[in-house]
Structure 1
Amino acid sequence: MHPARWSSMNAEEIVGTAGVARRAVSSAESERASRAWWDADADDYLDEHARDIGETAFVWCPENLREDDAQLLGAPDELRGKRVLEVGCGSAPCSRWLAAHGARPVGLDLSSSMLRHATAANRRAGIEVPLVQAGAEHLPFADASFDVACSAFGAIPFVAEPGLVMREVARVLRPGGRFVFAVNHPVRWVFPDDPGPAGLTVGQSYFDRTPYLEVDAHGAATYVEHHRTLGDRVRDVVGAGLVLEDLVEPEWPEGHERIWGQWSPLRGRLLPGTAIFVTRRP
């Protein structure tokens, strides 16, 4: 497709989304769909959310919890000199924040378009962050090669085997290394993705793990988002040999009126939208 034509189309048109289906999706199909989707949607996503995530900021979630305040990865002086892996870095604002605080981050993402934006933002910020294109279920790094790992809504909701991601992160962490990751709060699965009153009505079972799946005219996945219950997430963490130290459910802050996708002040004041798991490799 000609690049000029690509730029005038939205992601659904580019990847050929024709409808929604209900079926299991393999890791390989999920990865293909996610790579194509985020390559197609990167420009629009960042146009819409640039002011939410910034270019050199570490924002954990739409509730606007920031690492400057939360210090879930440790105090700033504890990060200095640490080798940090960001899983699903997107345009890598979190990695640039880490580098600005003296850490040695590496940003990993599946999407070449997101990494293109990350490279451009590195130049604008004057901060050099190494970037690697790869999927989260098979990390291309040696055992015990990082001190810390993090993921702010990157990769984990979109993989078919999040337990494998946990095991891979545990593998590349050094003993004592911390892994903190933020995902959609599992309770949100039962509600429609609507920031208004319609998003407060239960529409499906919390225990239904069938992924949300968009498909093209041939039935191939164009977008996939996977669901794990809170118990599933804990079992994935523990099954990887990690220790769960904290589960943070950020509350909607007073005066925060920003709507971000399904997140809104209306919903945020009534139910959690984000779950942040703070874990450690023994």
Structure 2
Amino acid sequence: MTEHTAATDADDDDTEAVRRQADTAESSRANRSWWDRNADEYQDEHGGFLGDARFTWCPEGLDEADARLLGDPADLRGRRVLEIGAGAAQCSRWLAARGARPVALDLSHRQLQHALRIDQHLGLVPVPLVQADATVLPFADGAFDLACSAYGAVPFAADTARLMREVHRVLRPGGRWVFSVTHPVRWAFPDEPGPEGLTAVSSYFDRTPYVEEDEHGRAVYVEHHRTLGDRVRELTAAGFRLLDLVEPEWPPGLTQEWGGWSPLRGRHLPGTAIFVCARD
């Protein structure tokens, strides 16, 4: 999972949070640089929760081992799986341990260096790593049986309709595409874990990107909002069938906060949306 924030204030004294348009080139450039600069801090802060070889879909702690959104774990052996926005490839490592043949793709070189670090620390054969933009996947048509993304790539791409078409292209017919993102309804609320995060302050229908700018007005971080309906239309236009939309509830006993995710907010608002799709 590599999502930083959504519709909140910038957390860097040298940046300012605004809502403005940001195209594909600006978004890709800003987010690649942001994750290269912040990958160390991110892995230090969240690595314990993510584990080295755990496949968790969201801050609510829903694990693939229990959810089986990609199918029966026993059926993963030999399956070619593309993890998009893989970060340090924790999910790919979990898949490899079950006999799958994963490839971990991320925009950030530094995040992929952390993947190599973990493989070396564990003494594992490294997961194949690819640095690339998710809207221009460097793979042949039908190269994969499954594709997945746990809070990676999708919110950071300006042209997610193109991203969905690219995933469709590299999947074989019948292949499954499963991805998690911040639940779109959260964009109407401040990204705060306390009571202030329970009052809507903006329109759910405002698709204007969230941008953090430096003192020269250059974007240093960008996220893009789509409504639930937008996501469904993008998927169906790309040739996918929506099999399920999972909205994990906050589990009893989980007290750890993750940015704006908290037990308080989790009792009242969905924090994550997981789209389970199949390629026609």
Structure 2 counterparts to residues 4-23 of structure 1, below 5 A: 12=12, 17-23=14-20
User: Structure 1 segments of 4 or more deviating over 3 A?
Assistant: none
1:253 to 251, 254, 257: 251
In structure 2, what is the equivalent of residue 165 of structure 1?
A: 163
Percent identical across equivalent pairs? Answer: 62
In structure 1, what is the equivalent of residue 186 of structure 2?
A: 188
Residue 51 of structure 1 aligns to which amino acid in structure 2?
G
Query: 2:102 aligned with 1:102, yes or no?
Result: no
Consecutive unaligned residues of structure 2, counting only runs of 5 or more, are 1-10
1:87 to 77, 80, 84: 84
Distance 2:16 2:225 in 1: 19
After TM superposition, give the deviation of residue 151 of structure 1 in Å.
Answer: 0.2
In structure 2, what is the equivalent of residue 219 of structure 1?
A: 217
In structure 2, what is the equivalent of residue 27 of structure 1?
A: 24
What do residues 128-180 of structure 1 show as CA deviations (whole Å, max 9, x unaligned)?
20000001110000000000000000000111011111100000000110000
Normalising by structure 2, we get a TM-score of 0.94
Residue 202 of structure 1 aligns to which amino acid in structure 2?
A
In structure 2, what is the equivalent of residue 120 of structure 1?
A: 117
Residue 83 of structure 1 aligns to which amino acid in structure 2?
R
Residue 257 of structure 1 aligns to which amino acid in structure 2?
T
Query: 2:229 aligned with 1:231, yes or no?
Result: yes
In structure 2, what is the equivalent of residue 154 of structure 1?
A: 152
Distance 1:22 1:246 in 2: 31
In structure 2, what is the equivalent of residue 56 of structure 1?
A: 53
Q: How many residues align?
A: 269
3-state SS of 2:39 partner:
helix
Residue 189 of structure 1 aligns to which amino acid in structure 2?
W
- Alpha carbon RMSD of aligned pairs, Å? 1.1
Distance 1:223 1:257 in 2: 28
After TM superposition, give the deviation of residue 12 of structure 1 in Å.
Answer: 4.2
1:273 to 234, 248, 271: 271
Distance 1:127 1:191 in 2: 43
1:153 and 1:184 in contact (8 A); partners too: yes
In structure 1, what is the equivalent of residue 6 of structure 2?
A: none
1:209 and 1:226 in contact (8 A); partners too: yes
Distance 1:35 1:237 in 2: 25
